[in-house]
Each structure stands twice: as structure tokens, then as C-alpha cells.
Amino acid sequence: MARVALHDLSKRFGDHTAVDSFSLQIADREFVVLVGPSGCGKTTTLRMIAGFESPDNGSIVIGERDVSRVATKDRNLAMVFQKYALYPHMNVFRNMAFGLKLRKTPKAEVRRRVEQTAEMLGISHLLTRKPADLSGGEQQRVALGRAVARDADVFLFDEPLSNLDAKLRVRMRSEIVKLHRKLQATMVYVTHDQVEAMMMGDRIVVMNEGRIQQVGTPLDVYNSPQNRFVAEFIGSPPMNVLDGQLTNDNDQPAVKIGDWTVPISKARAGRYTELVGKPIALGIRPEDIRLTPPGDGENWLAIESEIQVTQPLGAEWLIELEAHGQSFVARSPASSAPSTPTGSITSHWNLARCHLFDGRTGAAVMGAKEI
Ligand SMILES: Nc1ncnc2c1ncn2[C@@H]1O[C@H](COP(=O)(O)OP(=O)(O)OP(=O)(O)O)[C@@H](O)[C@H]1O
Ligand SMILES: [Mg+2]
């Protein structure tokens, strides 16, 4: 197994910069997820690590070796891609053995590894079947098995679950997480699905337009987004972000959103005095808006709100509300959900959990922990 160091990687296609100054240190045995919207450069980054794409700039180190100019087959990687095309004329055993045979692994060793991997993935009973006789989920496991049967230094996954139905996806996510633990391998996993990223990664790397936006543990990124893009991308439903202006009338800092004024704590006023009078965006996660009166001790703001849409999801509900001409979503346990689908309700905002973003650059000026 091995660490991976990516230094200042860039890749252009014609005039378009697909990946821009991408630097990241991935520790030995770490599970890192690259996540971001379609076209943000995830696959291109992975393809550069794999050696399918040569960077215009930067270097790639795997283990202690600079592989920037080393051919794919000599980088000792195993890969699973979205289109995992199994060989249709070979049975599962031969599909899984293929990479090992290419590497001239002795026959008895091939058998041992394939059988052991099949056991781990729960597909031992499928070894003699052809891919056409397997369900989508079984084919997916075989594709995974084909990759992990090899003793690779680093595993690369590019949206390997995107062909599966929702239920199977959830199951396969935990299978891959368990596999990571068993193999003690370094893994780089690409997805555009932020829920998948949050569930799987030791660390996640949020990308947009070819650039890294933030790197951190899932909870770090969720609780302390460094900019508005990350705040709105990570979390389902996303953080509510309302555009306004920072004011400081009568020495009370506040965000003015239309005719509405949301006071903010004075405690850290020094951090944002230079932004007074400038555009600012106020962010609050749906779970930080309650529909029942909160207990004491925190900094709550009660807001008379109109119910727009209610979405009962079972244990919890999402409620779209409107106040002062602004729409926002609250997440509520079913037990305190509104009893009618329309009407007025008081929503309670946990001001201690609000975020502020610079209205022009989107950079966080104040995170939830700091307000
Ligand atoms: N071979 C290519 N030639 C020209 N442009 C390309 C090529 N490959 C990728 N691009 C462009 O580079 C950008 C990044 O593409 P990439 O495939 O890395 O995105 P992605 O994050 O993997 O997206 P998705 O989630 O849709 O798979 C896109 O704008 C894409 O159109
Ligand atoms: Mg892609």
C-alpha cells in the first residue's frame, strides 16, 4: 500500500481548464472521496493519477516514487470505473483472474486470490456464471472483485455505483467501506453524490470548476464550510443561504435581508467590521430551524413564518417556509411537524449555528462554531 502525493496538477483541454492547480496529500490506507458537480474535473484528476491523461503541469508521487512519467501498467493501481464492462465470454472466475494472469501470477496463487476475494464479496456461488446471467449488483461486485483480487498499491474508483438502484447503492457503499477496512488499502473514490461522499470518505475533497474548494473530514466540511459553494453543495437538503447586507446600527451587528433584520452576535464583531455596508449572505442549515419552542441557553430568534410545502419523509419532515418574502427549509422530527399543510407557524432560528459568507467572494467570514 502507499501514500499518494499530488502536487500542483493542471490539465487543459483546448481553452478549457479541466483541473487547476490541484494539490493533495493522501495518506497510506486513507479513503479519500473527490466530490463535486458534473464537469468539475473529478474524472480528469483520477485519470491523471491512473496515467491515462498526462498533466500539463505538476507531479504525482505514489509511495516514494514519482510516477508522473511512468506508464499506467507500471503504477500498480487497480481501477473500477462507471462502465465496468466485464468480459462477456468469460465466467466470473476468469473475469476476476484476468488481471492476475496478465501479470503472470502462478496458477495456484490465482485460484487462491480469486476464491478469497469472492468469499469476501459474497460471490463465491457465482464463479462459474457468465456476466449476462448476473443481476446489476452482482456484476458490480464482480467488477470490484476483479480490481481487488490484485494486490495493488492504490485503488481508484470512478462512480462505480451509479448504475445501481437506490437500495443496492446503499448496500454497496457499506460493502466498499468494509472492503477498505479489510484490505487496509489507499483508495481514491469519485462521486458527484455528496451523501455518498459523506458516508464513505475518511476525508472528502470538494471540487468546483477544476479547483479544490475544501478538504476535510465529512463533519468538518459539513459544520465549517469554507465558502458558500461548499455550504450549498454539502448537505441534503442544502443549507439555506439568504442574500443581504451587513449593518451595524446602534452598535448591533445584523444582516438586513430586504425589510428584515437578523441580529448576529457581537462577540466576534472584529472579524467583520470591514464588511459593514457590504453584501453578505446568511446561511443556516434546515436542522437549525425548529418548529417547537427551544429550551433556554442558546441564541434563538423566533420568526413568524408561512408554511408553503410540507414533505413527510417518515421519521422526519422537510417544511418549506416563507417569511419576509424569503423562502427557507426547516427539518423537523415527525413528532413536531405542523398538523396542517398550510397556515402560519413560528420558526425558531438557532443564531449560534448561522454562517456568514462574503457576498462577493463567497468566502466564509464566520462559521457556526464562531458566531
Ligand atoms: N477528452 C476531453 N476533451 C475535451 N474536454 C474534456 C475531455 N475530458 C474532459 N473534458 C472536460 O473537462 C471538464 C472536466 O471533465 P471531467 O470528466 O473530469 O468531469 P467530472 O467531474 O468527472 O464530471 P462528471 O461528474 O460528469 O463525470 C469538463 O468540462 C469536460 O467537458
Ligand atoms: Mg466523471
What does the pLDDT look like over 73-93, one tens digit per residue?
899 899 988 777 899 999 999
Determine the length of the chain. Answer: 371
The reply to whether ligand 1 has any atom less than 6 angstroms from the CB of 39 is yes
- Residue 226: pLDDT band by 50, 70, 90 thresholds? very high
- CA-wise closest residue to 216 among 225, 358, 195, 208: 225
Cβ proximity of 308 and 358 under 8 Å: no
Counting ligand 1 atoms within 8 A of each CB, the residue from 12, 13, 190, 208 with the most, and so the one to mutate, is 13
* Chain centroid, CA 184 distance in Å: 21
Least confident of 70-74, 105-109, 330-334, 337-341: 337-341
Query: To test the ligand 1 pocket, which listed residue (10, 15, 19, 42) has its Cβ within 8 A of the most ligand atoms?
Result: 42
- Considering the entire predicted model, what is its pTM? 0.91
- In this structure, the residue with its CA closest to atom 22 of ligand 1 is 43
- The whole-number pLDDT of residue 368 equals 59
Q: Report which ligand 1 atom has the smallest distance to the Cα of 44.
A: 18
4-229 classified as CATH 3.40.50.300? yes
The reply to whether ligand 1 has any atom less than 6 angstroms from the CB of 218 is no
Distance 268 CA to ligand 2 centre (A): 41
The architecture CATH gives domain 233-366:
Beta Barrel (2.40)
Q: Ligand 1 atom 25: the closest Cα is on which residue?
A: 38
Ligand 1 pocket check for 13: Cβ under 6 Å: yes
> What nine digits make up the cell of 124?
463465491
The ligand placed nearest to the CA atom of residue 158 is 2
Query: Is residue 40 within 6 Å of ligand 1 at its C-beta?
Result: yes
Please state the rounded mean pLDDT for residues 278-307: 90
Whole-angstrom distance, CA of residue 265 vs CA of residue 370: 10
Per-residue pLDDT of 238-275, as tens digits, reads 999 999 999 988 888 899 998 899 988 776 656 677 88
Nearest CA residue ID for atom 26, ligand 1: 38
Is 4-229's fold the same as 233-366's? Answer: no
Domain residue spans of the chain: 4-229, 233-366
Nearest residue by C-alpha to atom 30 in ligand 1:
39
Whole-number Å distance, alpha carbon 313 to ligand 2 midpoint, is 30
pLDDT confidence of residue 42: 97
pLDDT of residue 53 exceeding 60: yes
- Please write down the HEC assignment for all residues of the chain: CCCEEEEEEEEEECCEEEEEEEEEEECCCCEEEEECCCCCCHHHHHHHHHCCCCCCEEEEEECCEECCCCCHHHCCEEEECCCCCCCCCCCHHHHHHHHHHHCCCCHHHHHHHHHHHHHHHCCHHHCCCCHHHCCHHHHHHHHHHHHHCCCCCEEEEECCCCCCCHHHHHHHHHHHHHHHHHHCCEEEEEECCHHHHHHHCCEEEEEECCEEEEEECHHHHHHCCCEHHHHHHCCCCCCEEEEEEEECHHHCCEEEECCEEEECCCCCHHHCHHHCCCEEEEEECHHHEECCCCCCCCCEEEEEEEEEEEEECCCEEEEEEEECCEEEEEEEEHHHCCCCCCEEEEEEEEHHHCEEEECCCCEEEECCCCC
